């Protein structure tokens, strides 16, 4: 995917930007809060600077990655995106409203993904004209260091969308885990059980 849009540039959004720009993609960064997207770009620049200092990245590679991060101040600029990854607050209605706005803007072949950690992806897709292209793409914080990415198939997500997302994650240094749309997905569900069982034993 040549152009990845990240909507919501808080802690998770900026981490997703850093992950995506490392894959060679062009990045569109949007946040409704003025200055937030710019702050996220500066944060990514600082993180890449640390990698340069550690010898993990050349200054030329850092500059090339930074040149691919584009701040947008209007959702209509998402029209060129191949995939939109939403990383806003955990509110089903807010996400649902956003996805319906995305559909009016993006190309019919583009994918819509939510980074939700706990909400139903099927519910978020409710009301979309093309729910078959809606899926979950759940990263963990901090995104560059936590290499697992949950690819979540909602009730009406098409196989082609899942295949594209699995391929996208595999092209990076992260590892996709395919999940059904169930409470806690895989990692959080397993983690809750593991911690609870550990407390019971103690």
Active site residues: 138
For the chain, the C-alpha Rg in angstroms (whole number) is 17
Q: Token pair for residue 145?
A: 């260091």
Cis peptide bond upstream of 170, omega within 30: no
Contact predicate 140/190, CB 8 Å? no
Residue 149 and residue 18 in contact, taking contact as beta carbons nearer than 8 Å: no
As given in the structure block, the two tokens for residue 159 are: 């196989």
What are the tokens at 64?
Answer: 């090339």
Query: Distance of alpha carbon 101 from its chain centroid, rounded?
Result: 17
Q: Distance between alpha carbon 1 and the CA centroid of its chain, in Å?
A: 13
Rounded Cα distance between 56 and 63, Å, is: 14
Q: Record the tokens describing residue 126, joined without a space.
A: 């409710």
Strands 148-153 and 175-180: parallel
Task: Please count the residues of the chain.
Answer: 202
Contact 116, 124 (CB under 8 A): yes
């Amino acid at each position: 995917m040549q152009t990845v849009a990240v909507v919501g540039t808080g802690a998770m959004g900026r981490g997703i930007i850093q992950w995506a720009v490392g894959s060679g993609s062009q990045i569109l960064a949007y946040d409704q809060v003025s200055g937030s997207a710019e702050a996220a770009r500066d944060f990514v620049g600082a993180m890449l600077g640390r990698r340069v200092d550690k010898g993990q990245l050349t200054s030329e590679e850092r500059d090339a990655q930074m040149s691919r991060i584009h701040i947008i101040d209007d959702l209509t600029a998402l029209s060129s995106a191949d995939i939109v990854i939403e990383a806003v607050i955990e509110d089903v209605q807010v996400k649902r409203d956003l996805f319906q706005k995305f559909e009016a803007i993006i190309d019919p072949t583009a994918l819509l993904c939510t980074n939700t950690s706990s909400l139903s992806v099927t519910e978020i897709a409710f009301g979309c004209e093309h729910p078959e292209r809606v899926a979950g793409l759940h990263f963990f914080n901090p995104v560059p260091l936590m290499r697992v990415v949950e690819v979540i198939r909602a009730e009406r997500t098409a196989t082609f969308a899942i295949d594209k997302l699995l391929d996208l994650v595999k092209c990076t240094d992260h590892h996709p885990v395919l999940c059904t749309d169930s409470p806690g997905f895989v990692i959080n569900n397993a983690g809750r059980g593991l911690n609870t069982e550990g407390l019971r034993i103690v």
